[in-house]
């Protein structure tokens, strides 16, 4: 990769990261841009708060955690007690030889066996506790996503959102599985070791204890520098996942424009950035273990030398020196273990903060005392509506529309004129800045959002099918639809013929967004999904853009039946699709510049007539 290309990518992802941190959104006139990275801050904003929130997920497992803690205490105290038995054993051997050795070793074996059993039980319990806690976290995260507005999904890359479900939650799980108990066990071991060392020999204990401040200082310094590195690692991982998701889902575009090499270069750049971030983070965390280990070895050597002098010159017992040296290792081991867990803690806290960042997003606001009419007829009116995806850019300006039930309203215009934005406002995916939108005379801001959307059926240009049978995908439009109604909807959408040719007909399983179907067939199923719905308002956003002209005409004949008594809004670039509309509205730069029937607009000889004549010449 040449230096100029490297510099462009560095600047691109520097801007992307800053945009993620500041929650800024890049928007074009046609609507929100998808794919912006959503990233965690460079440093955790409040580590204490993050830890407190993680504790909340463990609160429901208080009883099991208590049992695990008791097991951990038994394991730790058992290990300390068994180690202390070395003193009388060694002193007895020094004085009486091998007499009574078997009994002492038997007692030590029993204590160690109980300790091992307690450790096994503690690990088994914590594994269950952590996984159940993670299940609740994933459940709450997914539930939160269902409440977030469309704006959130327009701003953030799908891969980065998925990274929070997988990498970030898994990082938290790794910490909950082992780290918590190891820290608690280490703390108990540390306290118990200090008490027994002081009881055995105060002066030798002081040699070990005085090193503690140095170990704490070293650990604190490394932790401070490592925290930001782990946040950067998680952010880089999110960017890489986002890019991979975009290019994998868009492989046809990559290949048709021969951008494989460019995509590979960009992936390599992001991969190298992640590699550097991981090396930096892992090094900063991993260096703690070797550093503290060498300090502990130094303490061990000094204690052994001083203890030897005390044995020779001061009558200190050999068994006491043995367990002091053993406890020196016990004293250093929990510090080493905790230091070796720092990388897990860093990764988990950074991941948890990214998960909580999504959970803290403000969900769609539900209208207080929302109106829920018994039935909606479909009388839609927009009065002097202004709207912009950002405060500084108006996408729609002074839009007024009146649509009666059974009428077909079409929107045409250049790309970015604001056609799709109108439908986003009708469904309250976004709320208007000024003006009012009413359905049956009721301001949609006063209507219950779920009720409003149940009464609107949409067929988008971008098809989406769920894993399940063909029948289930069509029934997604109305879950209580009968099999007969599903088949009738498929016939209306001209999908019945190709469905019956599938291996299992309506029971054919679709996976991977219907990858075994053509683009046109997938769109026909989406249209059938809308047809099975009883929603009085129908929105067709380039619904027939993926089908051939003959199929389009068949669909139009079928759609006439489902449009009856429905208020229908059609967005189409093919003017042949909108010719039969009751009213055609021409949008340019967010304003309605012309409106009327096809014949009226042709007679006006304005922008619509120009578009129609241009297309006619091309055909």
pLDDT tens sequence across 78-136: 888 887 887 777 777 766 667 667 777 888 889 889 989 998 998 888 888 888 888 88
DSSP 93-116: HHHHTTTTHHHHHHHHHHHHHHHH
Asked whether residue 71 carries a pLDDT value surpassing 60, the answer given is yes
Phi, psi values for residue 28, rounded to 5°: -100, 170
The answer to whether residues 522 and 465 touch, using CB atoms and an 8 Å cutoff, is yes
CA dist 209 and 190 (Å) reads 10
Among candidate residues 475, 476, 496, the one with its CA nearest the CA of residue 487: 496
What pLDDT score does 442 carry?
92
The answer to whether residues 455 and 537 touch, using CB atoms and an 8 Å cutoff, is yes
What pLDDT score does 384 carry?
93
Among candidate residues 155, 167, 133, the one with its CA nearest the CA of residue 361: 155
- Beta-carbon neighbour count of residue 4 at 10 Å? 8
The answer to whether residues 285 and 226 touch, using CB atoms and an 8 Å cutoff, is yes
DSSP 236-249: HHHHHHHHHHHHHH
More confident residue, 261 or 473: 473
Among candidate residues 281, 180, 282, the one with its CA nearest the CA of residue 231: 281
* Residue/partner pairs of 603-610 with CB below 8 Å, 24 or more apart: 608/412, 608/584
Cut 0.75: pTM above it: no
Asked whether residue 33 carries a pLDDT value surpassing 60, the answer given is no
* Token representation of residue 442: 């009721």
CA dist 54 and 344 (Å) reads 14
The answer to whether residues 399 and 392 touch, using CB atoms and an 8 Å cutoff, is no
Among candidate residues 535, 502, 536, the one with its CA nearest the CA of residue 525: 502
Asked whether residue 37 carries a pLDDT value surpassing 50, the answer given is no
What pLDDT score does 219 carry?
66
Place of tokens 């929105």: 539
pLDDT digits (tens, 9 = 90+) for 332-363: 677 667 666 776 777 788 888 888 888 888 88
Name the average pLDDT for the chain.
80
* DSSP H or E run through 286: helix 260-286
* Token representation of residue 116: 């091992």
pLDDT > 90: what percent of the chain? Answer: 13
What pLDDT score does 500 carry?
93
pLDDT digits (tens, 9 = 90+) for 183-227: 778 778 888 888 888 888 888 888 877 776 776 677 667 666 666
Asked whether residue 569 carries a pLDDT value surpassing 70, the answer given is yes
Asked whether residue 502 carries a pLDDT value surpassing 80, the answer given is yes
What pLDDT score does 507 carry?
92
What pLDDT score does 309 carry?
85
What pLDDT score does 56 carry?
82
What pLDDT score does 23 carry?
39
What pLDDT score does 616 carry?
60
Asked whether residue 327 carries a pLDDT value surpassing 60, the answer given is yes
Q: Tell me, which fold does domain 380-618 have in CATH?
A: Rossmann fold (3.40.50)
Biggest alpha carbon–alpha carbon distance for the chain: 121
CATH number of 46-359: 1.20.1560.10
Domain ranges of the chain: 46-359, 380-618
> 338-368: string of b/e by CB count within 10 Å (b at 16+)?
bbbbbbbbbbbbbbbbbbbbbeebeebeebe
DSSP state of 364: P
What pLDDT score does 558 carry?
60
Among candidate residues 211, 334, 219, 228, the one with its CA nearest the CA of residue 288: 219
């Amino acid at each position: 990769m040449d230096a100029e290309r490297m510099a462009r990518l560095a600047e691109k992802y520097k801007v992307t990261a800053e945009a993620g941190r500041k929650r800024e959104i890049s928007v074009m006139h046609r609507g929100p841009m998808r794919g912006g990275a959503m990233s965690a801050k460079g440093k955790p904003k409040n580590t204490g708060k993050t830890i407190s929130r993680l504790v909340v997920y463990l609160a429901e497992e208080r009883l099991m955690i208590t049992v695990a803690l008791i097991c951990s205490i038994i394991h730790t105290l058992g290990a300390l007690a068994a180690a202390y038995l070395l003193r009388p054993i060694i002193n007895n051997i020094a004085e009486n030889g091998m007499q009574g050795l078997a009994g002492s070793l038997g007692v030590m074996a029993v204590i160690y066996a109980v300790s091992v059993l307690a450790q096994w039980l503690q690990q088994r319990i914590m594994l269950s506790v952590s996984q159940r806690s993670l299940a609740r976290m994933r459940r709450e995260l997914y539930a939160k996503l269902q409440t977030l507005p469309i704006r959130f999904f327009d701003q953030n890359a799908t891969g980065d959102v998925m990274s929070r479900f997988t990498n970030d939650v898994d990082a938290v799980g790794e910490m909950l599985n082992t780290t918590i108990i190891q820290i608690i066990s280490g703390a108990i071991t540390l306290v118990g070791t200090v008490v027994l060392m002081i009881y055995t020999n105060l002066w030798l204990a002081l040699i070990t204890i005085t090193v503690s401040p140095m170990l704490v200082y070293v650990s604190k310094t490394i932790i401070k520098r490592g925290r930001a590195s782990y946040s950067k690692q998680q952010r880089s991982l999110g960017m890489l996942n986002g890019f991979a998701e975009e290019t994998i889902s868009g492989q046809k575009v990559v290949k048709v424009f021969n951008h494989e090499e460019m995509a590979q270069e960009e992936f390599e750049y992001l991969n190298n950035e992640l590699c550097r971030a991981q090396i930096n983070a892992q090094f900063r965390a991993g260096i703690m273990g070797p550093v503290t280990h060498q300090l502990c070895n130094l303490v061990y050597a000094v204690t052994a030398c001083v203890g030897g002098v005390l044995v020779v010159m001061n009558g200190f017992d050999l068994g006491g020196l043995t367990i002091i040296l053993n406890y020196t290792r016990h004293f250093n081991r929990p510090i080493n273990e905790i230091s070796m867990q720092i990388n897990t803690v860093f990764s988990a806290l950074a991941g948890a903060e990214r998960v909580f960042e999504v959970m803290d997003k403000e969900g769609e606001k539900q209208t207080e005392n929302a109106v829920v009419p018994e039935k909606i007829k479909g009388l839609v009116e927009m009065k002097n509506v202004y709207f912009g995806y950002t405060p500084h850019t108006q996408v729609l300006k002074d839009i007024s529309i009146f649509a009666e039930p059974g009428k077909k309203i079409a929107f045409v215009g250049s790309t970015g004129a604001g056609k799709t934005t109108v439908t986003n406002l009708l469904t309250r995916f976004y709320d208007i800045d000024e003006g009012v939108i009413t359905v049956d005379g009721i301001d949609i801001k006063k209507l219950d959002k779920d009720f409003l959307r149940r009464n609107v059926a949409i067929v988008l240009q971008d098809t989406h099918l769920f894993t399940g049978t063909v029948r289930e995908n069509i029934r997604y439009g109305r879950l209580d639809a009968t099999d007969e109604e599903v088949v009738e909807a498929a016939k209306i959408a001209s999908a019945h013929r190709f469905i019956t040719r599938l291996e299992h007909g309506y029971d054919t399983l679709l996976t991977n967004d219907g990858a075994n179907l053509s683009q046109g067939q997938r769109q026909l199923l989406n249209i059938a999904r809308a047809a099975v719905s009883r929603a009085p308002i129908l929105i067709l956003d380039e619904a027939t853009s993926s089908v051939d002209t003959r199929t389009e005409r068949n669909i139009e004949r079928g759609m006439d039946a489902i449009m009856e008594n429905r208020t229908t809004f059609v967005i189409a670039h093919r003017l042949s699709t909108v010719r039969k509309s009751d009213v055609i509205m021409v949008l340019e730069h967010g304003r309605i510049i012309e409106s009327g029937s096809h014949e009226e607009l042709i007679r006006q000889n304005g922008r619509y007539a120009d578009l129609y004549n241009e297309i006619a010449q091309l055909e």
